[in-house]
Copies of this chain bind each other. A is one copy, B any other.
């Protein structure tokens, strides 16, 4: 069964115990916010997703979207759910108050997103894409465009899509063929075909705002000749209503492995009226603003899937009776023991647990810094936070989605044959989550972003936000009576990361293929060291709460066990990752193409 209870206790833990939420509430933008308010917001969001989105998840998968005469019909119930979503204010939670948003921190927005993705990933893409589009518009749009579009987008009345991919280009946007010609009135006419456009057409909102990459007539070839345009489905009237239909139609829906409730569209633009966002030929800059926000969001999708996979697997493992405990029959009155008694089932459940909790802890760290980066008045603090977010964005995207897919697969495995049939709904998680490793830049591209841009930027300065606290923790806890052993293992893993960083910096300078050959393993190594550091800090907190009484006693005890499980069963991978990186590019690159 698709089972979900909002993990509010753990969210509170990562927000206010593991990380310092007062750093956020001290920011002027969030001066009216406190931890208690946030708990209430999360509680309410948890109710909404559980009651409204969760029951629609299977519906969306079974029914899918349908295209009839250019109109896309979303699955039954999605319209009402979306209306309720906007009405309750969930679309505008983190939106800027300048345009009618509620201005809550991204740290909270992320946790709400997690809950949305746990309960209905397909649904989440409709409001999700709007967030990315707003990021680009806010940073690069003219005041006129902003004041016309932002208020509608923030409330969810209008949604958005990101139109980048074309049949001949996905990763390599330099190959974009869609073109824009001046209309003579300061606007542009856009013509071309786009594919794989999430929420490109649907029946949830009265208007859809397409953010479209296209080429001007005088554009230089390649990536330096791309511009970003805003193309509304309906041309807005000055009074804020919608006017005539613009020249963009949905020509087909993609048939996909999963996220079937999400309308993935082929769009055809035919002299569509368009407004330039940012400077001509500088579209990639605006695109990256949009994309970086989306990448964090996709990482959180991985977390969401991991959490619901974990919960669904736990429910089955407690319910399904099969075999007897190797330590002796546990439930003699039952025909067999529940499978949660078996070590290999435990291995899967504990793995899913540390995936979900570890990603939540790391994701919150990153969104904390994002809030600082966006709202701190202290330049140095701001810059440090920006550095850290830049470094960790590809890590969050790729690591969380890899692990989210792994958790979904483990949930299927926990169910055995019952996981492979559609009845219990867990195979849907495996299918839905598979796209997260691909879209908004494949995980291989994330790894290249990490080693090719984020590491060398500012002479490696980005690394400080991660390396300094890890090194500091190791220094302080090496001889800690209870944490000494864990710290030693952290030090070993951190040492591997430092060696790998050095190798990439040295060899990669002379030969970029050496850096690229190390990229995927290096990203995983970075992510695991960051999580290991957070697990060590979690263990420290749990130890300090050893005398807690009441329901929290079990919570902290479980944190300590989970931390140890991470060190026992996940962290050892760092040793292998370093050996792989060390081996270099030779055996990866030397086979002639024609021999493959």
Contacts and interface: CB of A to CB of B under 8 A. Distances in A.
A543 B170 CA distance: 41
Given A256-B420, A564-B587, A596-B314, A169 B430 contact: no
A594 B318 CA distance: 9
Contacts of A345: 444
Q: How many copies of this protein are present in the complex? A: 2
A516 interface: yes
A554 B416 contact: no
Contact of A413 (B444, B561, B579): B444
Interface string A313-332: 01001100111001100000
Contacts of A342: 444, 516
A588 B421 CA distance: 28
A535 to B, nearest CB: 11
Interface in A574-596: 574-577, 579-580, 583-596
B579 A575 contact: yes
A347 B434 contact: no
A513 interface: yes
Contact of A587 (B169, B170, B448, B561): B561
Given A517-B347, A569-B588, A431 B257 contact: yes
A19 interface: no
A318 B405 CA distance: 27
Contacts of A567: 583, 587
A168 to B, nearest CB: 7
A417 B439 contact: yes
A203 interface: no
Interface string A154-195: 000000000001001111101100000000000000000001
Contact of A171 (B172, B323, B347, B512): B323
Contacts of A423: 255
Contacts of A335: 168, 175
Nearest to A196: B417
B416 A442 contact: yes
A596 B447 contact: no
Interface in A508-564: 511-513, 516-517, 519-520, 554, 557-558, 561-562, 564
* Interface SS majority for chain A: helix
A524 to B, nearest CB: 12
A346 interface: yes
A164 to B, nearest CB: 11
A568 interface: yes
A353 B557 CA distance: 45
A567 B447 CA distance: 22
- Considering residues A165, A170, A418, A596, which has the most beta carbons from chain B within 10 angstroms of its beta carbon? A596
A416 B171 contact: yes
A515 to B, nearest CB: 8
A145 interface: no
B430 A434 contact: yes
A304 B444 CA distance: 26
A572 interface: yes
A302 to B, nearest CB: 15
A554 B346 contact: no
A280 B170 CA distance: 63
A588 B346 contact: yes
A298 interface: no
Contact of A583 (B421, B562, B568): B568
A102 to B, nearest CB: 33
B568 A590 contact: no
Contacts of A558: 591, 595
7 contacts: A346-B589, A350-B588, A413-B443, A554-B595, A561-B587, A568-B587, A575-B575
Question: Which 10 A-B residue pairings sit nearest by Cβ, starting from the closest?
Answer: A568-B583, A572-B579, A344-B444, A343-B516, A565-B587, A257-B427, A564-B587, A572-B576, A326-B512, A576-B576
